[in-house]
Structure 1
Amino acid sequence: MKTVNKVLLTSVSLLSAAILSGCGGNETKVDKKQAAFVEINKDPFPSTYKPMPSQATVITNVNIYDGLGGMAENVSVLMENGKIVAVGKDVDEASAVNVIDGTGKWLTPGIIDVHSHLGVYATPDAESHADGNEMTKPVTAAVWAEHSIWPQDPGFRRALAGGVTSMQILPGSANLVGGRSVTVKNLPGRVIQDMKFPDAPYGLKMACGENPKRVYGKKGGPMTRMGNVAGYRQAWSDAQDYKRAWEKYEEDYNAGKNAKPPKRDLNKETLMGVLDGEILVHMHCYRADDMGTMIDVMKEFDYKITSFQHAVESYKIADKLAENNICSAMWADWWGFKMEAYDGIRENIPMVHQAKACAIVHSDSDQGIQRLNQEAAKALSDGRRAGIDISKADAWIWLTSNAAKSLGIFEQTGSLEAGKNADVVLWSAEPFSTYAQAELVFIDGGLAFDRSKPETWAIADYELGQVGEGDRK
C-alpha cells in the first residue's frame, strides 16, 4: 500500500509540473541562437597616411626613364591631384600651376628599396635601438616590424635625399621566420601608421642558411641546414592545421551549428595569411642550393616565395627563378663576408636580368640606401664588361617597377604612367652618373625634398639642437 501511494504521488507531481509548464506558454522555452561569428581582424593597425599638399605641376623638356624599360627625350610630365596625368610631347599644360623647366635633366619614378632596416635598427647605432631581431625562438611570425620602427630615425631623411620614395622595412634575419615586414612612404610621420603605404600587402621575413644556425645552434637548435628545413616544414604543417580549423569553424557556422572558434595563435595566423596568398614571403637566402630547397618547400606547402633577399648566387639558378616567378633582391658587389657569401660575383644582377628573371637592386644599409642609383650603375657596367648588353632604361626597372611588383604595389607606383601615384625624382644629370643628384623628390605629387632649399628639409626631433644650420648643407 505504501508503495502504491509513492507511485501516485510521483505521478501527481510530474503532472503538476507539466501543467505549470504549460501555463507559461512559450515564455519558459530557451531559444538557442548562434553566437556571433568570430572573424579575425586582418588590419588591426591601419594606415593613417595622408599625402602632402600638392599643386598641379608640369616638368617640361625633360629626359625620362619610365621604369618600364622605356626612355624618351625632351618630353613633359604633368602631375595633378597626386597622380601622374600625362607623359609625352603633347601634354596639355593648361591646368599646371607650377611649371618646372627640366632642360638637360632627367626624371624617373622614385626609387623603391625592398630591403631596409631603417627605424628597427635606427641611427644612432645604440643597443637600445636594436629592435629588429626577436631572437627568442626560431619561429616568431607573430611579431611585426612596424611595432619596432622609430619614425625619428634620421636615416629616412637621408634616403629621401637619395631619391627613395618608398621602402620595405623588415625584421632581421636571425630566425627561420622573423615576422612581418611593412611597406612605407618615405615621408615624416609621428607614428608609423602615418607612414604606412595604403593597402600595401604585408610581407613575411624568413631566413635560411647560416644566420639561424649561428643564433640557435647553442640554444637548442636548429644547428644545421637540415634542422632549418625541418623547422620550416613543421611551422607550415602547423599553419595548415590552423587554417583547416578556421575553415571547419566557418563551415559549421554557416551550416547553422553553434560552432566554437579556434583559439587564436598569432604565429600561425601570420603563416595562414601566407597560405591564403595575402602576405608575401621575402626570404633572406644566399646560396643557390638553399634557394632550390626553399622552392621545394614552397611547392610542398603550396605558398609563394615572392623574393629571395641578398641572393648572391642567384646567377646559378636564374632560370629556376624565372620559371617560378621569384624576384632576386641583390647587392651590386657585396660578397665574401661569410662563407655563404663567398661565391658572389659582380655580374649577378645582370645575369639574372639576362635570364628574364626579376632582378632588383636593394640596400640592406642605412648608407647604401642613399646611393642606390649608383649601385645599379655598378651592376650595369659590370654586366656590360662581361658582354651582357643591357640598356640604361632596362636597368632602371631594378630600382622601380620590379621592386614595386615584388611588394605588391605596382598598380600604385613604380613607373611613369598616367594614373600612377606621382612618386618621381628630378635628377640634375643622367641618373646613373656618379655626379647625379636628386634635385626634387615628389611623393604623391607633393614636393617632399628640394635640394636647393635646405631650410625646408625635414629634421628628426632627435637632431634638433645637435645639427647646426651649416651642417645641413
Structure 2
Amino acid sequence: MILIKNGYIKTMSKAGDIENGQILIENGKIKAIGKDIKTTTDVEIIDAKGLLVAPGFVDGHCHIGMFEEGIGFEGDDGNEAVEPVTPQLRAIDSINPMCIAFGEALKGGVTTAVTGPGSANVIGGTFVAIKTYGKRIDNMIIKDPVAMKIAFGENPKRVYDDQHKSPSTRMATAAVLRETLFDARNYFEELEASKDDPDKKPDFDMKMEALIPVLKKEIPLKAHAHRADDIFTALRIAKEFDLDITLDHCTEGHMIADELAKENKPAFVGPTLSDKSKYELRNLTFDTPRVLVENGLKIGIITDSPVIPLQYLSLCAGLAVKAGLDEEEAWKAITINPAEIVGIADRVGSLEVGKDADIAIFEGNPLKDVDCKTKYTLIEGKVVYNN
C-alpha cells in the first residue's frame, strides 16, 4: 500500500479540494481519500507537503504512438492515405509504446491518452483510450474502441486532390461519408434480419462490421472539423443517421457557440498553441474554450500530439485561463471532462475511491506556473516518474 499525505488534493469530484489531505492506494486503486486515514505501519509514504496532488491528466484527442517522435516515414503510421474510407483500421495496431513521447507525457503528468488515426481520410478508423505507461499496448488499454474518426475540411480534400481522386471538395467528403453510412445501415439491417432467416445474411464486410458500433451508438463519431461550416456538416450528418458525435478541434466554435449550444454536443478544443498553418485555422484563438463553456458546452482541451507535445497539455489549459476561462473549468477540461466524454470516467479523470490510482503530484500549479515541476506521476498506484 502507498499513502500520499500532507498534500493539497484536487479531487475533481463532488468532494472538492482537500487541504492537507491523504490518499491510500492498494492494488492499483484508490482505497481511501480524506484528511485522516488510518493505515498499517508497513505502508509506503509519499510526503506531499507543500505540493499539489491531482488526477493524472487526460488528453481526449491526440496521436501519440501513431506518429513517432523524431523518426519520419518509418514511424509515421497514422494515415493510410490511399482510399478515403478505412473504418476497419484500429489504432492499437499502429501505436508504438516505445516512442519517447510516452516518457515525456509522464513528465507532464499526463496518464491517459485518447489516440488514433489522423485526418487524411473521410473515415480513418477507431481511436483507443490508453495509459501512457507500458511496454505492450494490449496491457495499456482502458477502452477500445472509444470512437470512429471522421474528417472534414482541408485535409481529406488536399490528400485526394493530390492523387486526382475523389473527394476533392467538401461536397464529395460529405457524400462519401453519407454513402458509407447508408451502406453500413443496410448491411446492419440485413445482418439483423438474418437472425430469423440465415439466407438473408450478407457476405462478411470488414468495413461495414467496423461501423456497426457507431450505428448502435456504442461509440460516437469523432469529427475532425475546424471551420464553422464543417462543424455544421458533421452535425447534420450525425442527425440524419441518428448517431452520437464529438466535435474535435472545433477551431471556429467560438463564432457559432449559440448554435452549438442548441446541439449540446461535447467538443475537444485544440491544438491552439500552434501556428495558423492552413486557411481553416485563420480564426484560431484561446478564446474558444471560454466562449464554449459560457454557452453551456462540455469541453476537453487537447494537444493533438505531436502537433503540441503531450506534456504541454496543462500549459494549453493555462493559456485558456489567461484568455478568460475559469480556472476550475480548465482543470475539468484536462481531467474529468474528457474522461466523461470518452466513457472512461469510471476509472480515470478524478480522485475517488475505487478508481485507478493515476495521480500527478506537482510543485506549483501546472496551469499557472511556467516553472511548475512534476514531482511524481503514478499510474495504477505505481510510481512511473519520480523527479
Give the alignment's TM-score, normalised by structure 2: 0.93
Matched residues in 1 for 2:256 and 2:206: separation? 34
1:119 paired residue number: 65
Shift of 1:96: 6.5
Query: For the residues of structure 2 that align with 1:248 and 1:347, how far apart are their CA atoms?
Result: 50
Q: What's the counterpart of residue 225 of structure 2?
A: 285
What does 1:43-192 correspond to in 2, within 5 Å?
56-68=1-13, 70-94=16-40, 97-189=43-135, 191-192=136-137
**C-alpha displacement of 1:365:** 2.3
In 1, Cα distance between equivalents of 2:292 and 2:283: 15
Equivalents in 1 of 2:86, 2:167: separation in Å? 14
Q: Deviations over 1:217-259 (max 9, x none)?
A: 243211111111111111110110011011001132xxxxx54
Matched, 1:372 2:313: yes
What value does the CA root-mean-square deviation take over the aligned residues? Answer: 1.8
The corresponding residue for 1:32 is none
Secondary structure of the residue aligned to 2:291 is helix
Between Structure 1 and Structure 2, the one with more strand by share is 2
What one-letter code is carried by the residue in structure 2 that aligns with 1:358?
A: K
- The residue identity in structure 2 corresponding to 1:317 is I
SS state of the match for residue 195, structure 2? helix
Given the alignment of the two structures, is residue 444 of structure 1 paired with residue 367 of structure 2, yes or no?
no
Q: Deviations over 1:357-383 (max 9, x none)?
A: 111111112352112111111111111
- Give % identity: 35
Choose the corresponding residue for 2:267, options 292, 305, 328: 328
Deviations 1:283-331 (A, max 9, x none): 11101221112111101011110x2222111112334444434222123
What is the distance in 2 between the residues matched to 1:68 and 1:227? 44
Relative to structure 1, the CA distance from residue 285 to residue 84 in structure 2 (aligned partners, 3 Å threshold; closer, same or farther) is same
| Conservation of the 8 A alpha-carbon contact between 1:58 and 1:77 | yes
Deviation at residue 351 of structure 1 after TM alignment: 1.4
Q: How far apart are the structure 1 equivalents of 2:177 and 2:44? A: 54
1:313 aligns with 2:252: yes
Q: 1:147 to 1:338 in 2, by over 3 A?
A: same
1:462-473 equivalences under 5 Å are: none
| Post-superposition offset of 1:260 | 5.7
**1:215 lines up with 2:162 in the alignment:** no
Maintained 8 Å contact 1:413/1:423: yes
The match for 1:303 is 243
Q: 1:361 to 1:72 in 2, by over 3 A?
A: same
Per-residue CA deviations over 1:39-86 (Å, capped at 9, x if unaligned) read xxxxxxxxxxxxxxxxx1121121122224833322212222211122
Aligned partners of 1:71 and 1:322: how far apart in 2?
A: 29
Structure 1 runs (4+) deviating above 4 angstroms are none
1:95 deviation in Å?
Answer: 7.1
TM-score computed with the length of structure 1 as normaliser: 0.77
Contact 1:335 1:342 in 2 (8 A): no
Highest Rg: 1 or 2? 1
